[in-house]
Each structure stands twice: as C-alpha cells, then as structure tokens.
Amino acid sequence: MSTEYTLNATARAVEGKGASRRLRRNNGEIPAIVYGGKKEPQSLSLIHKDVAKAFENEAYYSQVITLNVDGKTESVVLKDLQRHPSKAILLHMDFLRISKATKLTLKVPLHFLNEDTCFGVKQEAGIFSRAMSDLEIQCLPGDLPEFLEIDVASLRLGETLHMSDIKMPKGVESVALSYGTDYDQPIASVGKARGSSSIEAQENPEIPTSNESTGTSDGTEN
C-alpha cells in the first residue's frame, strides 16, 4: 500500500514581501505559491510547525504531495524550498501541479547499503565516500520512487561507482545519462585512509642491504 503525503494550505490574496514577512512573524506561517497545469498561480500560506514536522520525512522532498487548499485537493510536487541561512525557519515554498500523464523531473535521495561493511572498508581498511546524495530523474508520477538503493557491499579499495551502476526502477531514467555516457558521473568510492602511506612505512621499515653497512668518517667499518 503506497503512502500518501499531505499538506494543508490556505489561499491568500495579499502578496508582496511585506505581507510574507508579516505571515512569518505574526502568524507562524510560511508563504507559498502553487502553479502549473491549466490553472492560474495561487498564493498560499501553510502552518510552519506542521510543515517542519512533515518534512522530517525526506520523502516530502521528492514525492507527489496531496495539497489541501481550503478543502480542495490537488496533486503537486515541491519545486523549491527557501530556508533562513542561520535559523531553523522555512521562508517560502513553491509547488508545481502535476498530471498523471506528464513526466516529472525531480531529484530523489540515494540510499547506500552496507557502507561500513563493504569489502574495501572491512577487509582493506579503506574509507567510503559519497560523491552524490541524490539523483535527478524523469518519470511519470505513478513510477516515482521514494529513493534509489545502491548496494556497495562488494566495492573494493580504489573502485568507484557511477550513475550507470544504479539499477533504475521500471519507467525511471537518469536525466544526466539521457545526454550520453559523457555525463556518467561518480556517485561513491572507496579510497585510502588519510595518512595510510606513512603508517605502512612505519609498519614496514626499509631494511638495509649488506652493502649499506655503517662506517666511520674515514671510511673504515665499525
């Protein structure tokens, strides 16, 4: 059974920066806009604490949301979310109306499995590094995945995974790869731990050969 993601909003007629500031300051609300489809853009307001709670679930960033505006619902996706640079405050939200028959372009999270126990980390003392945390995809709303899983259990030291290594669900494609293999970017790798070369040198000191015996300053042996 699929999960439904919902948000409640109220239509607002007063627009502008001053009105938006008053919403945030006096009412604890977030100014927003919904646009797209065959309807006119509509200014909205949402309760800040309700949105902050909902967005603890990362799926709200990449899934179809049922937006309830004064009792009327429509299907949307989040296109932009503005945050305060230093405070835990959401400043503005943009929603895009969607159609079941029209493909979406969205970023979805990447979930890496077995990061800490992959071969390169567990057996070869390497460090796992992520190069990407999400991937821009294109698909119909009904095919939209909540996230993409990548099992890195067999990843070895010095190896790198790329976008093309991700197993895409049916009906889903990478936007970057649609432009060709030149856009196949790395997503994760296992590299040497910092300082590993000096540690290896200490553990395996160079042993002098028989021709490297020590001698006095006049060239005679001790």
Q: What are phi and psi of 49, to 5 degrees?
A: -65, -35
Give the pLDDT of the chain (222 residues) as one tens digit per residue.
357 899 999 998 766 666 666 666 667 899 999 999 889 999 999 999 999 999 999 999 999 999 999 999 999 999 999 999 999 899 999 999 999 999 999 999 999 999 999 999 999 999 999 999 999 999 999 999 999 999 999 999 999 999 999 999 999 999 999 999 999 999 999 999 886 554 454 455 555 554 544 444 455 554
With the CA atoms of 100, 145, 189 and 115 taken in that order, what torsion angle do they form, in degrees rounded to the nearest 10? 170
Q: What domains are there in the chain, each with its CATH number?
A: 5-97 (2.40.240.10), 104-196 (2.170.120.20)
pLDDT for 14: 67
Note the pTM of the prediction, 2 decimals: 0.77
The secondary structure element, H or E, covering residue 187 is strand 186-192
Report the first-to-last Cα separation within the chain, whole angstroms.
84
Distance CA 82, CA 89 (A): 9
CA 194 to chain CA centroid, Å, is 25
